[in-house]
Each structure stands twice: as C-alpha cells, then as structure tokens.
Amino acid sequence: MSDKERYKLDMEQLYSHWKLKEPAIRFVPTKSGEGEKIIINHRNNIFISDGVVFPELWYSQNVRILFLLKEAYTKNGDSDWDLVKDHLLLKEKKMSHLFKRICQWTQGLLNTSQDDIPAFFSGMSDIHYGNDILKHIAVVNVKKSGGKANSSMEEINQYAEYDSEELKKELEIIDPTVIVCGYTISSLNIIMGTEIKDYDSPNENWFYSTQLNDHDVIVLDYYHPANQYPDLLNYYGLLGIYQQALKNIGKDK
C-alpha cells in the first residue's frame, strides 16, 4: 500500500467516526462569569475535513509543515466539504490573503537553515490555489463544524477538548516535523495533553518542541496568518523563530 493510499484509508476511518460523535454541551467563559452555553454537534452541522494537501509528496519530505488553525467556515451550502479537495487544490480560484501568506511562510520555512534565512519574496499577487508551494503543507483546523468568522479562543478550546482524541489521531496520521500554531498553541496543549507551552514560564523566543510518533516536532507559537501586520514583518518574524528553533533543538533539514 502506498503512502497516499494508507493516508486516505486512515483519514476516512477517522472522519467516519468523528462526524458521528455524540453531541455535547459546553460552557464558554464570559465576562459576567455565568458562561455561554454552546452545543457541539458534528452530526447536524456542516463538517469540514482537512489535512495533507498532496500526500504523494508529503511523506517523502524531510520537513513536513503543518499549520494548526482555528476553524474553517462557509457562507453557503448545507453539506460537508473538504478544505483540501474542495478549496486548496482548485487551480481556477485565486488565493485568499490568508493562504497567500501561508505560501510566503512555507516557501521561507522550507529553505531556512541554521545559517540562512531566504530573502522575502512578495510576488504572489496573482497566485492561485493548487500551486506547488501549497502541495508541501498540511492544514488542520481545531474546530471542524459550526465554524464562523469570529469564534473566541475560549470556544475554540472547548472544541479542542471535546475532539482532543480525534485531533491527536489526525496529527499522528499526518506526522508533521514542524507545527506552526496560528494563535492556537493553547489548543495544541489540550490536544497533546501536555504543556508544550508553559504559560507560567513561556519561551521568549516563541519556539517549543513536542513528541509525536516517537520523534521530535518543532512547535512555533505565532500569530494567525490572517493577522493585520505587514507581510514582511510576518515573514522575518516567523523565520527568525524557526531558525532559533533549528539552532537550539538541533532539527536542521
């Protein structure tokens, strides 16, 4: 069985169980202290799957970069959909600002070493989905259903807790060597069941490490790629953190 076939089978089995989980009631903390009730119900909401963009290439890469994001959402439609197949691989669609930035970051991360950071390249104004850069990554959203444009981090983390077993299994199947947290490292703590980032004594350089499938994984604690800071600052900020991780954790490509 090829890597692609094994990946597809493992993910299909995972999602078939995941979508049918029993609904749950959770309470999101509010300023009043009473808490807002939310119902997590994958069965009756649009479920958005995600994962490796191009499995044929992914498992042959020494550096496998996974972007852990908050949620995907859709304004139209009433059926489940796949972020990769129905969005990221559609070559006729021009990319959003969010994924243009992810492409910038990916191109830089793949070529950063302990000794060198590649110069910033901004020429992606006309780039479309399905490009060669996107084929090097994986994307996992913490919140798989009920997504909207502005869920609070407290709500995202309720989903992380409810789906921690499935999310960890998804990470194990994907098997990244680098996880870029788009303001989601608190969710990753929940998913992994350990304090990758200890909030009482955080790393001032914003990099951490964890273990997955018996190997080290570099974890970069960063802003969400849709943030409003300029592309140039985003690029060198992230790559500087990654370079320091390579130097200190000893994970060069």
Model pLDDT, residue 23: 96
Which CATH number do you get for residue 83?
3.40.470
Q: What is the DSSP letter of 145?
A: B
Pairing of strands 24-28, 36-40: antiparallel
Extended strands (E) in the chain? 24-28, 36-40, 48-49, 51-52, 65-71, 81-82, 137-143, 178-182, 207-212, 215-222
What pairs with residue 49 in β-bridges? 82
CB neighbour burial string for 147-157, b if at least 16 within 10 angstroms, e if fewer: beeebeebbbb
Q: Return the percent helix, strand and coil in the chain, to nearest 5.
A: 35, 20, 45
Contacts of 120 by beta carbon, 8 Å cutoff, 6+ apart: 104, 108, 231, 232, 235, 236
Q: What angle do CA 251, 181, 239 make, to 5 degrees?
A: 50
Phi, psi of 206 (to 5 degrees): 70, 25
Model pLDDT, residue 252: 41
CB distance 89 to 203 below 8 Å: no
d(CA 65, CA 181): 11
What is the residue range of 119's domain?
A: 3-249
Instruction: Enter the tokens of residue 230.
Output: 């300029």
Instruction: Enter the tokens of residue 227.
Output: 């943030």
Q: Which residue has the tokens 């200190």?
A: 248
Count of residues in the chain: 253
d(CA 58, CA 108): 17
List the chain pLDDT tens, one digit each, 253 residues.
899 999 999 999 999 999 999 999 998 887 766 778 899 999 999 999 999 999 999 999 999 999 999 998 876 677 899 999 999 999 888 889 999 999 999 999 999 999 999 999 877 767 889 999 999 999 999 999 988 777 899 999 999 999 999 999 999 999 999 999 999 999 999 999 999 999 999 999 999 999 999 999 999 999 999 999 999 999 999 999 999 999 998 544 3
Domain count for the chain: 1
